[in-house]
Amino acid sequence: MNGPATATLAPMRYATLVVNRLRANAPFQPGAGPNGGDFFLPWRQLRERFAVEGIELNTRDVNAGRDVEFELHLNAQRRVDHPLSFAYLYEDPIVRPINADLVQLARYRKLFTSNEDLIDGEHVIALAYPNDLTLREVPDFRQRDLFCVLIASNKALLRPHPRNLHHRRIEAIRFFEEHAPDRFALFGPGWDIPAVAPGHLGRIVKRLHEWRRRLVPGAPAAFPSWRGTVDRKHEVLDRARFSICYENSRGSPGYMSEKIFDCLTSGCVPVYIGTSHSRPPIPEDCFIDGDQFGTPHEMLAYIERIDAGHFAMYQQSIREFLASAEAQRFTNAHWCDTLVTRILADVQQA
C-alpha cells in the first residue's frame, strides 16, 4: 500500500527591495525609519503581502547569490541592473531630481507615483503615499493641553528652489515665539541651532552650529519654543488642537506627504500648505487652508476663534473622511495591493 500523500511546497521565490543603502532587512524592522515611530510600516506590510504570493522580499545583501525575480526601488536609483526593476517615487523631484529624469525613469519596467506630471496609466501608475488611517478614539477640544504645535526637522533643500516652504515654517515659529509663546510648542530634531539655510553652504554652516552646540552643551536653544524630538507624532498631535502643517515644498501636482494625515488620524486640525493644486484632495472641512491668510497674525486670529463646538465639527468631518471610500487610496492596504497586483502581473508577462 502506498503511504499517506505528502504536500509538496512550492520553492520560495525572491525579490529585492532597495531603500537608500539599508541592509540586513532594516526596512522591515518595527520602529525603524528616518522620521521615528514606525515609518517603515508600509514596507513591512508590503513584505507580508508579497509573502502571501510566495515571494520573499529582502534587501540586496540578504538576497546575495539568489535568483531574484525583480527589484523594487524606493525612489529612482542610478543603479538599475535587474531587467525587471520597478520604482515607487516617494520624493518629489524638487528634493530628488532623478525622480523626474525621463531618461533615467525609462530604465524601469513600471513606476508608481503621485506626480501627475508623469502619470500615464501604463508605464507610470498613480499611487499616493501610504498611511495608516485606522480610526481610533481621540481627545476632544477640552482634553487637549496644547493649543498649536509644529512638528518638523530643522532642515532645508539641498538645492534652493522657489517652491521651498521651509522659510514659511520659520516665519510661523518666530511669530508665535514673539507674539503668543504660551500658545505654541515646536517639536522635531535640530531646532537647538539656528534655521538651516538651503544649498551646500547651508549644510556647512549647519555642521558648524552643531559643533558649537557640542562645545557649549548648556547654551540656550536657538528656538525657545523647542520642546525636543518625538518618537511617535501622535504623542504630541493627540494633545494639540491645531498643527502648523506645511510640506517641505509645493511639490508636483498630486504631491502630498504623510504630514496632513498624521494630524487627521489624531483628531488634530491641520493648518495646511503644500499642494500645487488649488486645494488638496481632502474635504475642505477637515483642515484649515493656510494659504488664505496674508500674515501669521491673521492665521492666529482665525484659529483662536474656533471654539469647542466648531472644533467638534472639524473632528466629525475628519472621522467621516477617514472612514470613506475616497480615503482608501491613501491607505497602506491600497498601496500594498496596487504594488503587488501590478508588479506580479508585469512579471508574469515578461
Q: Is the distance from CB of 325 to CB of 334 less than 8 angstroms?
A: no
Q: What is the DSSP letter of 27?
A: G
Cα–Cα distance for residue pair 63/69, rounded to 1 Å: 11
Check residue 6 and give its pLDDT.
52
Q: Does 180 reside within a domain?
A: yes
Does residue 6 sit within a domain?
no
The CATH number assigned to the domain holding 75 equals 3.40.50
Write the pLDDT tens digit of every residue in 172-182.
Answer: 999 999 999 99
In whole angstroms, what is the distance from residue 165 CA to residue 251 CA? Answer: 10
Residue 296 shares a structural domain with residue 340? no
Quick: pLDDT tens for 82-104: 999 999 999 999 989 999 999 99
Is 309 a residue whose pLDDT tops 50? yes
Instruction: Tell me if residue 73 falls in helix, strand or coil.
Output: strand
Q: Does residue 311 share a domain with residue 167?
A: yes
Give the per-residue pLDDT at 278. Answer: 55
Query: Do 124 and 151 fall within a single domain?
Result: no
Cβ-count burial of 151 within 10 angstroms (0-12 exposed, 13-18 middle, 19+ buried)? buried
Q: What is the pLDDT of residue 40?
A: 86
Q: Are residues 156 and 78 in the same domain?
A: no
Burial of 242 (0-12, 13-18, 19+ CB in 10 A): buried
User: How many independent structural domains does the chain possess?
Assistant: 2
35 and 19 in one domain?
Answer: yes
**Cα–Cα distance measured from residue 259 to residue 131, given in angstroms and rounded to the nearest whole number:** 10
Q: Does a structural domain hold residue 195?
A: yes
- Give domain status of residue 5, yes or no: no
Tens of pLDDT, residue by residue over 41-87, are 999 999 999 999 999 999 999 999 999 999 999 999 999 999 999 99
Is residue 4 domain-resident? Answer: no
Judge whether 303 lies within some domain. Answer: yes
Helix 166-179 with 296-304: angle, nearest 10 deg: 60
- CA dist 289 and 67 (Å) reads 50
The answer to whether residues 158 and 192 belong to one domain is yes
What is the predicted pLDDT for the residue at 1? 46
Q: Give the residue, 276 or 216, on which the prediction is more confident.
A: 216
Confidence tier at 238 by pLDDT (50, 70, 90): very high
Residues 113 and 188 in one domain: no
136 domain residue, yes or no: no
Instruction: Give yes or no: residues 321 and 200 share one domain.
Output: yes
Q: Name the residue range of residue 170's domain.
A: 141-327
Which range has the worst mean pLDDT, 4-8, 258-262, 264-268, 319-323? Answer: 4-8
Residue 25 sits in the same domain as residue 92: yes
- Residue pair 332/130 in contact (Cβ under 8 Å)? The answer is yes
Assess whether 175 and 79 both reside in one domain: no
| pLDDT one-digit tens code per residue, 199-233 | 889 989 999 999 988 888 888 999 999 999 998 89
Q: Are residues 289 and 343 in the same domain?
A: no
Predicted confidence (pLDDT) per residue in 286-306, tens digit: 999 999 999 999 999 999 999
pLDDT averaged over the chain?
A: 92
Pair 337, 268 in one domain? no
Would 1 be classed as within a structural domain? no
